[in-house]
Amino acid sequence: MKARSDWKRAQAKEKIFHLLDVPEHSINKDWRDVRAKDALAIRSRLLRYESEPWNSKRVLEIGAGSLPHTAYWGGDLVFLEPSALDFIKALHQDMRELGIDWTRYVAGVGESLPFATSSVDIVVCHNVLDHCMGPATVLLEIHRVLRRGGLFYLGLNCYDQLGALALKLIRHLGLIEIEHPWHFTVEQIDLLLGKSSVAILERWVVSDWATRRSEIGARRNPLRRLRLYLHAVPIFWGWVCRVC
């Protein structure tokens, strides 16, 4: 019950970001370029393990938000998003101007994917798993919908053990992290992936930008200084997995 209430609070915060901030960001070329760079990096990693023609693939992005990373990849794209209908209603003009096909949106959550078993070739889940109600259930659902040999990219902020414990305490006190019901270590994610019966092909550090930002801001911001001291600053990790 608590997980669901935490998720609802997190979704309300995310919806505000997408409906109010994204239209402004989408006009900013630098911000779009960063998104495009991230999307290209994800696709390049997956292409290391996929030799068949990409345009024949069914690609599912979970938690796509209002600016999907897979929007320009080609293939049979599906953007799963809990707030899909709200985004389409409010942002369809912005999406059209950015070349995003809003008809590919499907409203739903990762814990209950509205797709047939073994019906998807590639799943992308970028900066989403720690926003979910039940991360372990999401991973099992991803395994279910992926065909045998299908690929799964996971990108996620992770902490060391001290940092994860510190974030739980800071969040319990209501200071920060409304958008993130979960705080994982790399080891916890490896364990969850193993339980969902996918093989990890590659794991790497994507970015330590949050650490560098906190180091810069620590002198002016006491809360950032505390988070840095408690190791409560994430490093963004990426995984590529395959269903065996």
For the chain, what is the HEC assignment? CHHHHHHHHHHHHHHHHHHHHHHHHHHCHHHHHHHHHHHHHHHHHHHCCCCCCHHHCEEEEECCCCCCCCCCCCCEEEEEECCHHHHHHHHHHHHHHHCCCHHHEEECCHHHCCCCCCCEEEEEEECCHHHCCCHHHHHHHHHHHEEEEEEEEEEEEECCHHHHHHHHHHHHCCCCCCCCCCCECHHHHHHHHHHCCEEEEEEEEEECHHHHHHHHHCCCCHHHHHHHHCCCCCEEEEEEEEEC
pLDDT tens-digit profile of 36-69? 788 889 999 999 998 777 888 999 999 998 888 9
Q: How far is CA 10 from CA 116, 132, 214, in A?
A: 28, 9, 22
**pLDDT surpasses 80 at 153:** yes
What values do phi and psi take at 96, rounded to 5? -60, -45
Q: How many CB atoms lie within 10 A of CB 79?
A: 27
**What average pLDDT does range 29-40 have in this prediction?**
73
**pLDDT surpasses 60 at 212:** no
- Give the model's confidence band at 20: pLDDT under 50 very low, under 70 low, under 90 confident, else very high: low
**What average pLDDT does range 195-223 have in this prediction?**
69
User: Which two tokens mark 157?
Assistant: 């902020």
The mean predicted confidence, pLDDT, of the chain is: 81
Q: Which residues, 6 or more positions from 52, have their beta carbon under 8 angstroms from its beta carbon?
A: none
Q: How far apart are the first and last CA of the chain?
A: 33
74: left (phi over 0), alpha (psi -120 to 50) or beta: left
Number of domains in the chain: 1
Domain range spanning residue 6?
Answer: 2-243
Q: Which residue has the higher pLDDT, 55 or 92?
A: 55
**What average pLDDT does range 111-122 have in this prediction?**
97
Q: State what percent of residues in the chain have pLDDT above 70.
A: 73
CATH of the domain at 189: 3.40.50.150
Q: Strand pairing partners for 202? A: 240
| Residue 59 identity (one-letter amino acid) | V
User: Which two tokens mark 43?
Assistant: 């696709």
